[in-house]
Chains A and B, each alone.
Chain A
Amino acid sequence: MRSKVKNTMKWLCFSSARNCTKICKTLLTTVFLLNTLVVSSQQIRHEQVALDRRKENFVNELHLRNHPSQSERNETSGERYLVDRVLDEYIVAFDGYYSQDERKQFIDSALRLINISTNFWGISPHYGPVKSLPSDFDVLQINPLLDPEKLLSLAHVHIKHVTHQRKVTRILQAASDEERHGTSSNPDPDPHAARSLLRAFPNQGQIHQLLQAKRLWESGYTGRGVKVAIFDTGLPENHPHFRNIMERTDWTDEKTAEDGLGHGTFVAGVIGGTYSECLGMAPDAQLYIFRVFTNNQVSYTSWFLDAFNYAILQKIDILNLSIGGPDFMDRPFVEKVWELTANHIIMVSAIGNDGPLYGTLNNPADQMDVIGVGGIDYNDNIARFSSRGMTSWELPAGYGRVKPDIVTYGSSVRGSGLRGGCRTLSGTSVASPVVAGAVALLLSTISKDKDRSVVATPASVKQALMDSAQRLPTANMFEQGQGKLDLIRAYKVLNSYQPQASLIPSVLDLTECPYMWPYCTQPLYHTGMPVIVNVTVLNGLGVVGKIKVKPSWHPYISEHGDMMEIAISYSETLWPWSGYLALSLSAAKQAAGWEGVAQGHVELSVTSSSSNSKDEDLVSVLKLFVKARIIPTPPREKRILWDQFHNLRYPPGYFPRDNLRMKNDPLDWNGDHIHTNFRDLYQHLRSAGYYVEVLGSSFMCFDAKLYGSLFIVDPEEEFYPEEIKKLKKDVTEHGLNLIVFAEWYNTSVMAGVKFYDENTRRWWMPETGGCNAPALNHLLQEFSIMISDRVFEGEFKMGSHEMHYASGTTLARFPKDSIVVGQPLHDQASEFITKQASTSTENVPILGMHQVPGAGSGRVVVYGDSNCIDSAHMTIDCFWLVDAFLAFVSQGVVAPVFNYGQMRNNLTKEMFVRGENIPLHDGRDPPQRMENNHLFKYSKVLQNHLGDPRPHEIPSCPSISWARGIPHNGSFPTFLWKHLSIDEDKAPVLINRKINSAENSRDFFRQPMNEMEEKPFNLSAFVHGLVLIVVLLLLYFIIGRMFVGQRRRFSPRFFVRCCFSWWKTCQHKLGFSSTIWSSDVTIQRSSDNSFNRRKSHHDVITSEDVTHFHEDSLLQQSDVQAV
C-alpha cells in the first residue's frame, strides 16, 4: 500500500515536471470549453432574439416596399414603432373587388344615407400601377367637423366595415419627439405625404406604444405614487425589470413568494416593467405582489380573504386580478370584493378565457363594481378566447347585465419573462393588467391639489374608461362592452371629471345592430314576453347612493312612445358605487297591428350624501333614451317559448356536464339560455323566421294560445303538480306543441362523476344527471311518454346529415300512432361504469314524434340529447332537426328523413313502429330519483321535508306594473352614446415637461442590457470551479497511477476523451429519464378528475402561433398591395 502511494508520488514527481505544461493546457482547454458552452447558450438566445428581430424587420420591410420614399429612412432606423390614428381618414372595406367608380358610388350612397353631402368628403386615389385595377378598399377623407363616430357605422350592402386610418411610423432613436407626435396633435396639410404605412401593425407591438402611453410619460406621468396590488402567482426576487417592488407577500401554503409559472411576472411586467424591450404601462407605480395562486394553479377563497384584508389595510389604489372562476355565488368572496371597492380600491379583473362561447363570464370580473376586461387582437377583433355573453346571476326571472366593461389588447402581448427577457402571452389575464397599468398611469395624472381619493374612485375611474372607450364596429355589447380602451381620451375625461352618476349601456337604441345584439335581432310585439334590459347604474357621487323616487317613463308623443310599455325595477340603494335599473319593455295593446319605431326616455335621479357639505345632498339626474321597433304580433305557429325556469346550473349546485366525454369541463355553467350557450340555435331560429321568447317563471305564467311550441331543453328542475296539469291542458285543449330535448340520467353514472373539489375541499355529488329525468318523466307521463336511465353515445347518419349523439338518453315508452326513430349506439353508461370501451352497438329509440289524440290538440316531440343544439360542446349541429320538428308540430309534415322506408336499414321492427306501443325497455324500472339527493337546496320547486322533499306552494306569477307614461315632446338624440356630461375641452392639455424627451426617455428606461454583464461576480461559483479543478487534477493523477506499468500510455488527451464519453452516456441517461417524467406528468393531469374553478387567464402562444400571426399580417398586407 505504502509503495503504491509512493509510486504515485513518484510518477507525479517526474511526470509533473514533464506534463505540467500539458496539464495546464488541458485544464485551460476544459475551462475554456465550459466557458464557451455557457457563452454559446446565451449567444443562442441572443441570436434567437436577433433572428426574431430580423424576421420582424423583414416583415416590415415587406410592408414598406410599397412606399419607397419611406423605406429608405426606415431601413436605417431603430426598431421602434408608433401607431397613430390619422385624423379624419377612414378605411372603407368592401365585400369584393370593385372598380374605382363603383367604389365611389357605394360610398356616396352610404354617406347620403347619413346625410353627408359630397362637399364634405373625398376619396384619396390609389397610386402607382394598382390605381386602375379593382380594389376592396378606399381611403375616405372627411371634413373634420363631421362626427367621426357616425362614419364608423356607415352601412351599405357592399361595405364590409369602416375603420380608422392608422399610421405606423418607425421611429429613429434620435428623432425628436415632435416628429413622433406631430401628426396627431396638428393635422398634416397633406396627410398622404407623411403617410408611411396602412393597416399594418408591429407584429410584436409593445402595448404602451399602441396605447400612446408615452404621451403621458413625457408629460411626467409615470404612475408615481400609485399603489398597485398584483394578485397572482408571485414574482421572482430581484427581477431585473422592476424597480418599484414595495412588497412581496405569500398567501398560499407554499411558503414562497417566488413565481414558478411566470404568469405573475408577466402581469407585473405589463403594469410596471421597466425593461425597454417590453415596457410596462406605469413604470413608476409601486407594486405590491400578492401571491395567491400556487404553482399547481390552486387557490382558495380563504387565501383571498386574508390577502384582500391586507390590501385594504395597505390602502392599495388599484388591484389587478387576472384570475377568475365561474362561482359567482361564493358569498364570502363576492362580499369581500364589494368591501374592497367600498374601501376605494379600484378592482380590475380579467373576464375569462372561455370564449367564443357565450355565458362564460368569470367572477369577480362580472361584478358591477369591478372593471371587467376582455381581450382583442391587434386588428381590433374580439380575441377568440375572450369570455362573453350576459351575466347569469339574474337568470331565470331576469336578464343579465352587459359585460365585459372594456376591451384592450390581449393577444400576443409582450411582457416580462420569468428570468429576465421578454415573452409573448395571450389571454384576458394579459388584457387586465393593461387596463390596470393604464389606470395607474391615469391616477398619477390627477393633480396634487385635488384629493385623489375624491376624484378617482372605483366608480369615476370606471366611468372615465367607459366614456372614453372607442366602440368597435363589428362586435356587440356583450362582447366588447363599451369598446376599446383609449388611454389619452380617458386621461382627458378623468381630468375634467365632475362627480355624477351614469348608466351602462347609456342609450337603449334597440334597433342598432350589431351593437345591441340580441335586442336588435327581434322586435317587440304585443302579447310578447316583456324584453328585459338590465342597465347598470354607476354612481360617482359616493360609495352609497339612493334612488329615492321611482324612475319615470316619458314616451315621446311625436315618436309613438305610447306604443311601448315599460316597467321599471331598480336597486333603491346603490352600494358599492353601483346598482341596477331593469327595464321590461313590451308593445302596448294599441300596437297590436302596428309597425314602427317607438321612442321615449326614462328619467331617474341618484342621490348621495355629500362628504363635504353636510346639508346638501349630491344629486345626479340621468336620462336613458329608449328606442325600439314594434311589429304586428306574429302568427302563433311562428312563436316559440323557451322554458328558462326549469334550468338549474352551477353555481351553486353541481349540475354535471351534458357530454360525459368533456372531463375537463365537468359543470353545466353557461346558463342554458338562448342568449348564452344556445345562442347559435337562437340565431338559427330567428333566421328561419321564428320569434323566440323566454319564460322565466313557471308554466302557470303564459298563455298557451299565443305560442306555437314550447321548448323544454335539458331541464334540471322539478315541475310543480299544477304545472303538469296546466301543460296537459295546454297541449290537449289549446293545441300547444311540446319540443323536448332530454339528456342523460343514470344514478350509477352520477355516482361515477362525483369528484373531490379542490376549491371547496369536499366531495361533490351531482344533483341530477344531464337533465332531471324523473321530473321530466313526471311531466311527460300525461302523454304516456317516458325516457330511460340508459346513456348512449355514437355517430350516425340521418338522411344526408351526420349526427353525433353525445351522452343522451333513450325512449323507454312512447304512445301508439307515433313515429319513433332508433339508431345503433354505444352503451356509454356501462362503458363509463366498467371503464371498458365497447365496440358493440345496440339499436335504441332516441327520437319520438307524437300527435296527441283529440281534435285541436298539439304534438309532442322528444329527442334524447341536447348536445347538438347546445354550443357548449357541440361537434355537429342538428339545427336541421329542430327545423324538421317545427315543421312537424306546426304543419304535421313528417320529413322524409324520419320515413320508415328510408330508415329501414338501421332499424329492427320493434324500434321503428307506427301504431305500436313501445313497451318498457327490457323490463327495466323507470329512472328513480337518487337517494339522499340535495336537489331541494338549489331547487325553486322542492323544499326539504322529512322523508321525501315536497314541492313548495306554487309562486304567483310576476305581476308587471307598467310605468305610467308622462308624455313628452322630445325626440331621440341623433347620435349619443356617451355616458358622462363632461366638457372634455376643460381637460388640461398634455404638455411635454421635458425639454429633450429622447434623451430623457433613454435615461428613464433601462436600455436592453447584456444579460451577462448584468450578473454580479459570483464568489461561490468561483470556489466551486476551483474545487472542481482540484478534484479533476486528483482524478487525473489517480487514474494515471492505475496506468502505471500498463502498455498503454496515459495521456491527458486520453483522459479528456474518457471524461467526454462518460459525460455523453450520463447525458443520454438523463435525457431518457426526463422524457419519462414528462409523460408521467401528462398522464396524471389528464386523469385528474378534480377541477380548478378559479383559473389564471392566459393562453400561451407558441412560436408556431406567432409565425402564423406573422403570416396573417403578411397576407393582409399583400392583399392591399395586390389590388
Chain B
Amino acid sequence: MAVLGSLRKRWVLGAIFCTSLIYFVYNTIGFRVLKDVSSKESHLLKIARSREKLEGVLRRLKWQPSVSIDENDVEKSEQFPHILCRNSLQGKEIIVDDKGFVCDRTSLKPSGCCDTFHSSRYVCESCLHNNCCSVYEHCVSCCLEPDNRSLLEKIILETSNNLQQMILSTIDDQFDLCLSRCRTSSLSVQHENVYRDPSVKFCFGRNIPDLKIV
C-alpha cells in the first residue's frame, strides 16, 4: 500500500513522466545530435590515429640499407650462400628479388635470390620521369632504390584512404611495399576496362600513369 500511496503523489508521477519524456527525446533527436558530435570527434580522432598508425607503419618498415652496393655486398652474399630471398614470383621472363636485383628466371638461385653475376641492382631501365615503368620487375627494383625512401615515406604519410591504410598496416618492409605499389590498380585504368597507358602502367611514385586517349 505504501508503494501505491507514493505512486499517488503528484511529484512521483511527474518524475516518471519527465524521465520517460527525456528518454524519449534523447532517443529520437538527441541521440542523433550527440552521435554527430561524437562522430565528428571520432573523425578527428581517426585522423590523428591514422597519422599515428601511419607513423607506426613507417617505424616498423624495414628499408633497404642505404649504403650503396659495392663489392662487399656481393662478397657477403657469396659468403653466406644460405641467405634466403623472397622474390616477385610472378614474372614471365624476369624476376626481382628483395635485394633489388633483377635477373632472368634462369639465373634464379634455389635460395630465391638472383645470381648477382647475372643480374643488376636497382634497375630503372624502363621507368619514366613520373616513376612509371613498362616492366613490373623494373618498377619494383627501381622503387627499392634507397634514394626513394623519402618519397615513399611521404607517400605513406599522405595516405588518407582507410583501405589503403589497412593495406599499409600489413606491409613490413620496402620490398613488400614496392611489390604492392607497382601493381596495376584502380588508378591505372580509364573507363574501367582500359589502361590509362597500356605500355607504361606500373608506377611506384605519387603519379598515376599518363592518360593515353583511346
Contact = CB atoms under 8 A, between A and B. Distances in A.
B184 interface: yes
A250 B193 CA distance: 21
Interface string B96-133: 00000000011011100000000000000000000000
B191 A613 contact: no
A1015 interface: no
Interface string B1-39: 000100110100100110110011001000000000000
B188 A614 contact: no
A614 B113 CA distance: 12
Contacts of B171: 313
Given A302-B185, A332-B184, A1030-B16, A611 B192 contact: no
Nearest to A10: B8
A760 interface: yes
Contact of B185 (A249, A306, A543, A1031): A306
Interface string B160-195: 000100110011000010011001111011011111
B76 interface: no
B90 interface: yes
A330 interface: yes
A335 B184 CA distance: 9
B198 interface: yes
Given A313-B180, A543-B90, A1030 B20 contact: yes
B89 interface: yes
Given A310-B167, A331-B198, A609-B105, A302 B192 contact: yes
Interface string B193-212: 11100100000000000000
A573 B189 contact: no
A16 B192 contact: no
Nearest to B214: A937
B61 to A, nearest CB: 14
Given A331-B193, A762-B191, A344 B110 contact: no
Contacts of A301: 189, 192-193
B23 A9 contact: no
Contacts of A306: 163, 185-186
A184 to B, nearest CB: 40
A898 to B, nearest CB: 47
Interface string A789-805: 00000000000000000
B191 A251 contact: no
Contact of B8 (A12, A249, A575, A1031): A12
A759 B194 CA distance: 12
B134 to A, nearest CB: 13
Given A13-B8, A332-B188, A609-B105, A343 B90 contact: yes
A731 B186 CA distance: 53
B82 interface: no
A605 B189 CA distance: 38
Nearest to B112: A611
Given A306-B185, A313-B167, A333-B193, A344 B89 contact: yes
A1068 interface: no
A249 B7 contact: no
B92 interface: yes
A761 B90 contact: no
A543 B105 CA distance: 10
Interface in A979-1028: 1023-1024, 1027
A510 to B, nearest CB: 33
A577 B195 CA distance: 24
A312 B185 CA distance: 13
A517 interface: no
B89 A12 contact: no
A286 to B, nearest CB: 15
A575 B95 CA distance: 14
A60 to B, nearest CB: 49
Given A309-B183, A1030-B16, A251 B163 contact: yes
B105 A332 contact: no
A884 interface: no
B188 A305 contact: yes
A313 B193 contact: no
Nearest to B164: A306
A301 to B, nearest CB: 4
B189 A332 contact: yes
Contact of B193 (A332, A342, A343): A332
Given A20-B4, A310-B167, A312-B183, A760 B20 contact: no
A870 B184 CA distance: 40
Nearest to A6: B10
B167 A305 contact: no
Contacts of A609: 105-106, 108
A311 to B, nearest CB: 11
A20 B1 CA distance: 11
A573 B92 contact: yes
Contacts of A309: 167, 180, 183, 185
Given A309-B185, A313-B176, A759 B20 contact: no
Contact of A305 (B93, B166, B185, B198): B185
- Greatest chain A CB density within 10 A among B167, B171, B193 is at B193
Contacts of B176: 313
Contacts of A339: 90, 183
A185 interface: no
A920 to B, nearest CB: 39
A216 B185 CA distance: 39
Interface in A298-316: 300-303, 305-306, 309-310, 312-314
Contacts of A815: none
Given A20-B4, A1034-B20, A760 B89 contact: no
Contacts of A12: 8, 13
A873 interface: no
Given A302-B186, A305-B186, A613 B110 contact: yes
Interface string A322-335: 00000101111101
Contacts of A251: 163
Given A251-B163, A331-B193, A760-B192, A343 B89 contact: yes
Contacts of A250: 163
Contacts of A946: none
Given A313-B171, A543-B90, A544-B105, A303 B20 contact: no
Contacts of B93: 544, 573
Interface in B43-79: none
A300 B163 CA distance: 16
Contact of A614 (B17, B91, B110, B183): B110
A13 B20 CA distance: 20
Given A12-B13, A249-B163, A310-B167, A614 B109 contact: yes
Contact of A331 (B90, B170, B195): B195
B23 A760 contact: no
A303 B27 CA distance: 38
A612 interface: yes
Contacts of B188: 305, 332
Contacts of B184: 305, 332, 335-336
Contacts of A300: 186, 192
A543 B176 CA distance: 20
B176 to A, nearest CB: 7
A1 to B, nearest CB: 15
A12 B108 CA distance: 92
A759 B16 contact: no
Contacts of A303: 186
A177 to B, nearest CB: 42
A-B interface, 4 closest residue pairs, ranked by CB to CB distance from nearest: A302-B186, A342-B90, A330-B193, A301-B192
14 contacts: A13-B8, A16-B7, A20-B4, A250-B163, A301-B189, A306-B186, A309-B185, A313-B179, A332-B193, A342-B92, A544-B92, A612-B110, A613-B110, A1027-B23
Given A305-B183, A342-B90, 19 more contacts: A9-B13, A300-B186, A300-B192, A301-B192, A309-B167, A312-B183, A331-B198, A332-B189, A336-B184, A339-B90, A342-B92, A544-B91, A573-B93, A609-B105, A611-B110, A612-B110, A1023-B23, A1027-B27, A1030-B19
